[in-house]
Homo-oligomer: A and B are copies of this chain.
């Protein structure tokens, strides 16, 4: 019945019940089991989104937004069926102001498409979660990645969101101004809300100037303590790193196998420096001196674009390295802790992974205290599955106890709901009431973040 109404409102071309389309919208890149929506809508405008939401509200049908399907916590899986809204046709640049370093886009544009548009003007959008996610999806999960050490997360890039609320109200959360102290800050609230409070139909982003010059460097350490001590000192020194990544020895081994590189199989830091050429050369020199104090070895630099991009490609593909092991699954963690607690956390994670008898890698955005664990298991062997889950859970619990968070950038979705009480305490009840406030019928991506 409601599907007929959707077709009447949007036209047949924007509503699909095709099996292949439903399948494509049943899953993301996580291990969470797929679930088919009943119907997929392809809005082309905010008006279409409003129409869908009005019908969903009338018939009490769950609505799940879908970007590029690259999420890692099942946010786009319609576990309660109903309507999936694919934003793939809402992928336009609405307004672009290079002189203000600002762009207004629809949520379905991908970050590479966005960058292709602005790079020619010497500008770029820095947030780089690895996957070619849509901007809407990145807003919904508050994505970040390797460049967060310099530019922050998605939340730090957003000037304004246009949001359709459950009751049909359309609001703007901000303005085109770079900063504001007016009203309540709703931008931060909707960012990271995973489609559970409203549907984002337009995003106004800050852009940044492409640095004139960049250089990559890497080095290795015998101990994790030295490695993290070095990073702390490097950050205190004021070097404005573009990237600073920890890759543990097991992960280096995987990277070598996967990419054909032959990086020394030791705990390593991969760094990128970016800015004016003379400044970068100075920073690299200072960094190399600091690193010597921490017994770093195998210092190597890369200046050419080709060399740099090959190394970062190998690093980015690390997260996919495991997924290509036939028949095996990977559970990924992305806890974030104060940097002083990193040695303890990373050591604990390594010990627990080794004790589990499973293979697993540790790497991450060490400048933010955010690190990833990838634990590989055979989903058909119950002992392996349980060991993988228990190991992951133990790492998350320790991270929260260390003053950290269960997720630095992947979001809560389905997999991290169980940690919300421990992490947020009394605030969780406030969050639940906020959900009730914004979505009294519970139709907006139900079952994500909160139960």
A interface residues, Cβ below 8 angstroms from B: 97-102, 122-123, 141-144, 148, 152-153, 155-156, 165, 169-173, 175-189, 191-193, 197, 209-212, 232, 235-238, 240, 275-276, 278-279, 282-283, 286, 336-340, 368-370, 400, 402-412, 416, 419-420, 423-431, 433-435, 437, 449
Residues of B within 8 A of A235 (CB): 101, 209
Residues of B within 8 A of A411 (CB): 181-182
Interchain CB contact under 8 A, A368 and B338: no
Complex A-B: 24 CB contacts under 8 Å: A97-B338, A99-B232, A101-B236, A122-B236, A165-B430, A172-B424, A175-B400, A175-B405, A175-B423, A180-B336, A181-B405, A181-B409, A181-B412, A183-B424, A183-B427, A183-B431, A184-B197, A184-B435, A185-B191, A185-B192, A185-B193, A186-B427, A210-B238, A238-B275
Interchain CB contact under 8 A, A184 and B177: no
Compute how far the CA of A237 lies from the CA of B434 in the bound complex, rounded to whole angstroms: 42
- Residue in contact with A176 in the complex, picked from B102, B188, B404, B435, CB distance below 8 Å: B404
Interchain CB contact under 8 A, B338 and A176: yes
Interchain CB contact under 8 A, A179 and B144: yes
Q: Which of A175, A424, A449 has the most CB of B within 10 A?
A: A175
Known: A99-B232, A99-B340, A171-B430. 6 other contacts (CB 8 A): A99-B339, A175-B423, A179-B368, A183-B423, A186-B427, A209-B238
Chain B residue at smallest Cβ distance from A148: B179
Interchain CB contact under 8 A, B173 and A420: no
Compute how far the CA of A177 lies from the CA of B369 in the bound complex, rounded to whole angstroms: 7
Compute how far the CA of A426 lies from the CA of B165 in the bound complex, rounded to whole angstroms: 11
**Minimum CB–CB distance for A102 against chain B, Å:** 7
Compute how far the CA of A426 lies from the CA of B179 in the bound complex, rounded to whole angstroms: 20
Interchain CB contact under 8 A, B179 and A409: yes
Residues of B within 8 A of A180 (CB): 142, 336, 405, 407-408
Residues of B within 8 A of A403 (CB): 175-177
**Minimum CB–CB distance for A99 against chain B, Å:** 5
Compute how far the CA of A101 lies from the CA of B234 in the bound complex, rounded to whole angstroms: 12
- Residue in contact with A429 in the complex, picked from B122, B169, B410, CB distance below 8 Å: B169
Q: Which of A99, A170, A369, A416 has the most CB of B within 10 A?
A: A99
- Residue in contact with A181 in the complex, picked from B183, B337, B410, B433, CB distance below 8 Å: B410
Residues of B within 8 A of A179 (CB): 144, 148, 152-153, 336, 368, 370, 405, 408-409
**Minimum CB–CB distance for A31 against chain B, Å:** 18
Interchain CB contact under 8 A, B276 and A238: yes
Compute how far the CA of A416 lies from the CA of B180 in the bound complex, rounded to whole angstroms: 12
Compute how far the CA of A123 lies from the CA of B232 in the bound complex, rounded to whole angstroms: 13
